[in-house]
Structure 1
Amino acid sequence: MHHNPDCLSTQPVPEGRRIVFLDVDGTLIDSFPGIREGYLQALDSVGVAHPDEEFIRRIPGPPMEVTLRNSGLNEQQVTEAFGAYMDYTRSGQAPRATAFPGVEKLLSQWKREGLYLSTATSKGEHFARLTLEELGLLQHLDFLAAATEDGPRRDKASVIDYALSSLGLTDRTGDILMVGDRLHDVEGARAHGLSTCIVTWGYGAPEEWEHADFVAHSPEELARIVHEFTS
C-alpha cells in the first residue's frame, strides 16, 4: 500500500529508531539523461556554448542554478536559463529516470528492519515525489524532504535543516546517517553534524569520496555500513 510521507511531517521520530537520510539523484535513481538534456537546452536558451562531457557528467546533484553559475552565466542569464530548464522539466519530454539496481530491495529491507527513512534531496519536491512514486520507491519512505522549486529551500544544508526541524531531530543528529553521492551531500550533512556515506555508483568523482565517513561501492556494502551504523 502506498502511503503519503507528508502525513508524517508533524510526527517526531520515536526515540530509539535509527534514521537514514537519502539523497535521490545519483543515489537512489539515475536521472542523468533528463538532467543533461534540460541543462543543454537551458544553455541554448541564452546562447551559451556547451561545456565538455567531463563537466556535464558532474552536473547532477547541486541545484541547477548553481551549475549554471559555474558554467559562466551572469545572474540575468541564470534566471532565464533556469526558467528554460524548469519549462523542459515540466514538459514531460525528459527521458525517464530509473532506479539504480538493488535500491528498491535495499529500501524495503531497511523498512522491515524498522529504520526511519527520509529523503534529503535538492530535487524539487513535486518532481521528487512524482519520480519516486513512479519507480515504486516512495512507498518505502517515511518522509519526503526536498527543495522548493522557487523558494528559499534550495541547497542541501537547508533541505537537511527542514528535515531535522520537521521531524523533531535537531537534538538527535548522532542517530542519523546521510547517504549521498556528491561532495555537497557530505558538506550539507556536516553543517548539521551528521555522519556521511558516499555511494560510488552515482555522479561523484573519487576525490569527493574521501571526504565522507564511509564509502559504499555496492548496495550490499551500503547495507553493511547502514547495519553497523544503526546497530
Structure 2
Amino acid sequence: MRTTLLLDVDGTLIDSYPGIREGFLRGLDAAGWEHPGEDFIRRIPGPPMTETMASLGMDAEENRRAMNAYSEYMAGDGWQNFTVFDGMAQLVAEWKAEGYEVVTATSKGEGLARMALERAGILDNIDFLGAAQEDGPRKRKVDVIRHVLDNVQPERPLMIGDRHHDFEGAAFFGIPSVAVTWGYADPREYDLATCTATTADELKGIVHDF
C-alpha cells in the first residue's frame, strides 16, 4: 500500500519566519495597531493571517488594511525571505525517488507556496500542491487537508508539520501525524501529534517505519 506524505511548508520545509514577521508588522502599522510582544509574534506562522489579525481584536476594516499591507509585501519581496531547513530538500527528493507520494498541505497561499517551493528546489518533487486560496474560502488547515484528500485520495496518508493546526487537522480525518521540532510551535503542541522528530534524519526513520 503506497504511503502519501502530506507536508506542511512554513516551519516544516522552509523557515519563512523572517518574511512573515516583517509582513505582519507592516500590516499592524497599516492598521495603526500596536505591536504585540515577541512571544506572540513568534507563533504567527501557521494559522491564516486573517485569523491572527482578528485575534488581536481588529475589526473588519482594520483587518482589511492590515491584510492588504501584508499581502502586498509578501507578493513583492517578502515571499523570498526564507531559507530551507537543513536536510529537508534532500529528504523530499529521496521520498519521491523511493516511491512515496509527496504532496503539500499548507495554509500558505497557493501562488506563494508554488513560488517558494520552486525557489527552494522542492517543487519538482511534489506530486500535488495542496494549499490555501489567496482569494477564496479555503484557508484553514482542515480545509486544505480536505482539499488534498478529495484530489489525491491517498490509501495511507501521514501528515508532517510543526503546529497544532497540522496535528488537529490530521486527527479530524483520522490521519496520523509527525511533529517536527524545528518549526514554530510551543513544545506542548507536540503532544497532539502521533510522534515527534527532532532532525531530518529522525523524520526519515519515522517515515520509513510507518
Say if 2:189 is the partner of 1:189. no
Q: Does residue 97 of the first structure (1) align with residue 78 of the second (2)?
A: no
Residues 115-156 of structure 1, C-alpha deviation per residue, up to 9 Å, x if partnerless? 000000000000000010011011111110000001011010
Alpha-carbon offset, residue 112 of structure 1 = 1.7
| Moved beyond 6 Å, runs of 4+ | none
Q: What does residue 133 of structure 1 align with?
A: 118
Change (3 A) 1:227 1:62: same
Amino acid at match of 1:126: G
SS in 1 for 2:102: strand
Which consecutive residues of structure 1, in runs of 5 or more, have no partner in the other structure? 1-15
Structural RMSD (CA):
1.1
Q: In 1, Cα distance between the equivalents of 2:148 and 2:78? A: 31
1:120 aligns with 105
CA contact (8 A) 2:105 2:141 kept: yes
> Which residue in 2 is equivalent to 1:23?
8
TM-score (norm 2): 0.97
Alignment match, 1:221: 202
- Which residue of 96, 99, 118 maps to 1:111? 96
Secondary structure of the structure 2 residue equivalent to 1:41: helix
Does the C-alpha gap of structure 1 residues 213 and 53 become closer, same or farther in structure 2, counting only changes over 3 Å?
Answer: same
Paired with 1:93 and 1:58, the residues of 2 have a C-alpha distance of 18
- Conserved 8 A contact 2:107-2:144: yes
**Deviations 1:22-65 (CA, angstroms, capped at 9, x unpaired):** 00000000000000000000000010000011110110111100
Report SS of the residue matched to 2:6: strand
Tell me how far 1:168 sits from its aligned partner: 2.7
Gap runs ≥5 in structure 2:
none
Q: CA deviation at 1:87?
A: 1.1
Residue pair 2:79, 2:116 contacting (<8 A) in 1 also = no
Q: CA deviation at 1:88?
A: 1.2
- Residue 46 of structure 1 corresponds to 31
Matched, 1:198 2:179: yes
Assess if the C-alpha contact under 8 Å between 1:30 and 1:97 holds in 2: yes
- 1:93: how far off? 4.9
In 1, Cα distance between the equivalents of 2:43 and 2:135? 23
Distance in 2, matches of 1:42 and 1:104, equals: 31
Asked if the contact 1:18/1:116 (under 8 Å) is kept, the reply is yes
Structure with a larger share of its residues in strand: 2
SS of corresponding position for 2:106? coil
How many pairs align?
A: 210
